[in-house]
Structure 1
Amino acid sequence: MKNIQAEIISVGTELLLGQITDTNSQWLSQKLNDLGVNVYYHQTVGDNADRVTSVLQMAQQRSQLVIVTGGLGPTEDDLTRESAINVLNRSLVIDQTSLKRVEAHFEKNGIPMTENNRKQAVVFENATVFQNDEGMAPGMFVEHEGTGWIFLPGVPREMKAIMNEKVIPFLKQKYELTGQLVSRELKFIGIGESTLEDKISHIIQSQSNPTIAPLAGDDGVLLRLSAKATTKEKGYALIDELQQRIFQVVGEYCYGIDHDTIESTVLNIMEEKHMTLSSAESLTGGRFIEKLVSVPGASKVVRGSIVSYQREVKEKLLLVSSGTIDQYGTISEQCAFEMVENVQNMMHTDISMSFTGNAGPDPIEGKPVGTVYIGIKQGSNPPQIYAYTFHGSRDNIRNRAVKKGYELLYKLLKS
C-alpha cells in the first residue's frame, strides 16, 4: 500500500466571495481518505490566471497527487487549462470524442452551439480523458515530473459522477491502492479537550498507525481513531487495540462511539434499567427534555416536563413556595431544590432534573449573567444541586446548561 500525499485545489472567484460553498473539497477528501490517500492541503483560488498558475506551481512542488476542480467551462474566466500549461509544459488539443458529445448536446436541445463551447472539449496533449456523462467538459489525468494531476469540472453533480465511475477505478489501478482507511469516533463528556489530550499524551506521542485526532464536539470531546490496513477487518483490529489503551486511562468519560449521542446513550441506559425521567425547566425552556424526546423510544422513559419560566408558574404549577422565592429568588439553589423535588413527586419518576438561571442579557435578582443551578434527584435520595457560572452568548449559556445536565445524569446512571 503506497503512501501518497495529495492536494485539492478549487478554482472559482464565487468560492472566495462566499456565493457558493466549496463542498467539492470536503467530498473529495472523504473519497481519497477511503482509498488510503493522505490529503495534506486544500487551496482555493479565484479566476485569475497568474494566481491559478501560482497555486498550481506550489502543488507541483509539494504533492504527489493533485485534484483540481472548476475552471473547465466555456467562458473567458475558465482559466484552469490555460494556467496549467505553464506548469505541466503540455499543449492543448481538441478531444474529438468530447467535441462530438458537446455538439450532440446542443443538437439534442435544439440550441445553436456557439464557438466558445468548443473549449469544453479541450484537453491536455496525451492526457487520459474521463468523459462527462452528466455534462460536457470532461475530466482528465496527466503526469508531470512524478506528480499526478486530475482535472475535474466544478459542478458537483458532474464532478462526483466522473470521480466515482472513472477516476477512483483509475487511481486504484494507477497507484495500486489496495489499502483501506477506517476510522472510529470515541465520544467523551465531563472532561475538557486539553485535559483529555494531556492524560493520553503518551499514547498520542507514540502514534503511527492508527492515528489519534482530538476534536471538539457539540456534546463533548471526540477522539477520531484512523487506521490503514489491507482490509477493513485488519484496520478495525488496530483501532480496537488502540481504543483499549485509551480506555485504560479515560474510559470512564466515554459515553459513546460513532453515531451515539449523549441523549441516546442516556435513554438506552434508563430503558435497560426500567427507569423514568421528568424535568422542570426555567432557564433551558424545555431544551433538555426536547433532546431526549427526539430519540426514538423516548416515551418508555420520559414522563413529562414542566417549563416554568415565570415566577407564578413556578409557584402555582410546580408548587415552589412563595417564601423560598421571596427569600432566595427564582435563580437560587433553594428554588432549584424545590423544582426538582416537586416535579418528581408530581410525575412519580425515578429521576428528575431541574434548571434555573440567568442567560442574560442583564443581571436578574442580583445574579450575574451565566449563573446556573441544576438539580438532580433519584428515588428517595435528597436532591443534589449544582451551581455553575457559564460564559458566552445567551444561547450558548442555555446550551451549556443542557449539556451539563446530561453530564450529571450520565454520571448518576453510570454510578
Structure 2
Amino acid sequence: MKAEIIAVGTELLLGQIVNTNAQFLSRECAARGIDIYFQTVVGDNEQRLLASLQLAASRADVVICTGGLGPTQDDLTKDVLASFTGRKLVLHEPSMDAITAMFTSRGIHMVESNRRQALMLEGSDPLQNDTGLAVGNALTFNGTHFVLLPGPPKEMKPMFMNYAVPWLQSLMTDEVPLYSKMLKFAGIGESNLEHQLLDLIQAQSDPTIAPYAKEGEVTIRLTTRAHSAAEGEEKLKATEEEIKRRLGEYLYADQDVPIETIVLQLLAESKQTLAVAESCTGGLLSDLITAVPGSSTSFLGGIIVYSNALKHKLLDVPMEVLEGEGAPGAVSSETAVILAEQLLVRTGSDFGISVTGVAGPSPSEGKPVGLVYVGLAQKDAKTEVFTLQLSGNREFIKQRAAKRALYQLWKQLKEN
C-alpha cells in the first residue's frame, strides 16, 4: 500500500518543534510493507488542511495524520476530515468518561472545550489513547484509509503501535515488509565511498543501496522485501559481502550505531582505557564518548588544553615547541605527539588521543583552516600522528576531527 503522512501544526512550519513523528511513522510503516510516498506538513488552517487531505486521498491508499486532535479551536483535523467525508462528529463515551475522571481526580474544573478530545467521526473506529486524552480515529472513505493520531510523540507512538497497526494490518493482504540493514563507515567521505560502489548502485534493483552521510561517518542502507529477518539476511548477503570486500577497512559496524559505541565496546572487551587531550575540538570528543552509556568503564577522562599556557602547564608541552621563531607551534605533529604521550604519563591510560588544529574561521599560526593533527599514543608502542585537511565551517571541522580520531583508535584496536 502507498501511504502519505500529514503532520498538522503551525509550530512545525515555524520550526518551533521538529517533526520526529514522520520519521517514526515512516520507519514503522516500511517495516510492515506500507510504502510512504509523501510527507506533508500543513499549518492549523482549515482550507490548507482540506486541500492537503484531498491531494493525499487522490494519490495514496493510506493517509496518516498526526496532530490537531486537542481541545483548542486550532485543533482542526477531525473537523476538516468530517467536512471532507461528509460525516458528523459524535462523542466517544469511553473517552469522555476518562477525560471527566481525570479532571475530577485532580480537582480541576473541566471547561467545555475538553469535550472536543472525545469526538470521533461517525462510523469510524476509535483508537484508544493510553497516555493522553484525545481519542484517535481510523476509517475508510471512497477506498482511502485514514488514520488520525495525536501530535505529542508520547501519545502518538503507543496509539499507532497498539491500535493503528492492527487496524492497518487487517486491511493488508499480500504486502511484503521491507527489511533493511545498516552498514556504518568512518574514515572515508561519502563521495569517495559512492565512487567505489558506483557500479553496484547504478545496477541496483533488489536489494537497493542507499548511502547517507553524517558528519564524520557514512551509512549505507541495504533494503529488500522479505517475510522474515532470516529471508532478508539471505537476500542481502551477496551484496553485503561485496561491499565489505571493497570497503572493509572503513566498515566499523553492521548496525546503526555511532563509532564511539564500537570503540568503547572494543576497549571494554580488551580491558583497556582511554584518555583524551583536546585543543581545537574543545571537549567535543569527550562529549561523544561520554554520551555512550557505560563509557566510564573505559574512559578515564579528558583535558581541554585550549591555550598554549595550559598545554605547557597541564601536559608539559615545552614553550619552545609552542611559540617562538622556528617553533613547530600548537598546531603541529610535535605538539600532538607530546599531548598524547603525556596523557599516558598523567592518567595511566592504555591509549591517549590528542587533537590540535585550526577550526576557523581564520587561519592560525600561518596555518590554513581545517589543518588538524590527531595524535594516538599507546603503551609500549610508537605514537602515531595523523595529518588531516578538513573542509567545512568551524562546527563541521570539529565534528569531523573528533570522528576521525575515533576512527584511528578503532583501527588500532582492530589491529591489536
Tell me which interval the TM-score lies in, with the shorter structure as reference length: 0.7 to 0.9
Deviations 1:234-293 (A, max 9, x none): 123223333112212222210112254323433454566676655554334555466556
Deviation at residue 85 of structure 1 after TM alignment: 4.9
Residues 95-128 of structure 1: per-residue CA shift (max 9 Å, x gap): 5xx1464267437745787666665555445433
The aligned counterpart of 1:357 is 357
Deviation at 1:196, TM superposition (A): 1.2
Residue number in structure 2 paired with 1:47: 44
1:183 maps to what in 2?
180
Take 1:132 and 1:273, find their aligned partners in 2: how far apart are those partners? 47
Q: Pick from 81, 90, 97: which aligns with 1:94? A: 90
**Inter-CA distance 199–117: structure 2 relative to 1 (3 Å threshold):** same
Q: CA RMSD in A?
A: 3.7
Instruction: Specify the SS of the correspondent of 2:248.
Output: helix
Distance 1:32 1:294, change over 3 A: closer
Equivalent residue for 1:27, pick from 19, 24, 29: 24
Q: Distance in 2 between matches of 1:109 and 1:283?
A: 54
- Tell me which of 94, 98, 106 is aligned to 2:100: 106
Task: Answer with 1 or 2: which has the greater Rg.
Answer: 1
Where does residue 366 of structure 1 map in the other structure?
Answer: 366
Structure-2-length-normalised TM-score: 0.81
Contact 1:172–1:178 (8 Å) recurs in 2 = no
CA distance in 2, matches of 1:130, 1:334: 65
Partner of residue 334, structure 2: 334
Q: Distance in 2 between matches of 1:145 and 1:315?
A: 75
Deviation at 1:200, TM superposition (A): 1.5
Verify the 8 A CA contact 2:183 2:256 in the aligned structure 1.
Answer: no
Judge conservation of contact 2:216–2:400 (CA < 8 Å) in 1: no
Q: Does the 8 Å contact 2:185/2:252 carry over to 1?
A: yes
Q: 2:258 aligns with which of 246, 257, 261?
A: 261
TM-score, normalised via structure 1 length: 0.81
Deviation, structure 1 residue 186: 0.9
Is 2:134 the counterpart of 1:140?
no
Report if the CA contact (8 A) 2:79-2:89 is conserved: no
After superposition, the Cα gap between the structure-2 partners of 1:399 and 1:136, relative to the gap in structure 1 and judged at 3 Å, is: closer
Map 1:11-410 onto structure 2 (within 5 A). Answer: 11-85=8-82, 87-88=84-85, 90-92=86-88, 94=90, 98-99=92-93, 101-102=95-96, 105-106=99-100, 109=103, 120=117, 122-132=119-129, 137-176=134-173, 179-269=176-266, 279-285=276-282, 287-288=284-285, 291-292=288-289, 307-315=304-312, 318-325=315-322, 326=324, 327-328=326-327, 329-340=329-340, 352-360=352-360, 362-377=362-377, 383-410=383-410
Quick check: 1:92–1:122 contact (8 Å CA) kept in 2? no
Cα distance in 2 for partners of 1:339, 1:134 equals: 52
Q: What is the alpha-carbon distance in structure 2 between the residues aligned to residue 276 and residue 321 of structure 1?
A: 26
Distance, in Å, in 2 between the alignment partners of 1:82 and 1:296 is 45
SS of the aligned residue for 1:252 comes to coil
Structure 2 counterpart SS, 1:330: coil
Please identify, of 276-285 and 297-306, the stretch whose mean Cα deviation from structure 2 is larger: 297-306
1:6: Cα distance to partner? 0.6
3-state SS of the aligned residue for 2:180?
Answer: strand
Deviates more, 1:316-325 or 1:272-281: 272-281
Q: C-alpha separation between the residues in 1 aligned to 2:112 and 2:295?
A: 62
Flag the 1:370–1:50 CA change in 2: closer, same or farther, 3 A.
Answer: same
Give the distance between the partners of 2:374 and 2:137, measured in 1 at CA.
60
**Offset from partner CA, 1:69-95 (integer Å, 9 cap, x none):** 23344544333344335643x332535
User: CA distance change for structure 1 residues 40 and 346 in 2, over 3 Å: closer, same or farther?
Assistant: same
Instruction: Please list the CA deviations of residues 310-348 of structure 1 after superposition, one character each: whole Å capped at 9, or x if unmatched.
Output: 434444554444443433223223333444455556777
Aligned length: 409
- CA deviation after TM superposition for structure 1 residue 10, in Å: 1.8
Indicate the larger mover: 147-156 or 283-292: 283-292
How high is the sequence identity, in percent, across the aligned residues? 39
**Which amino acid in structure 2 is aligned with residue 335 of structure 1?**
T
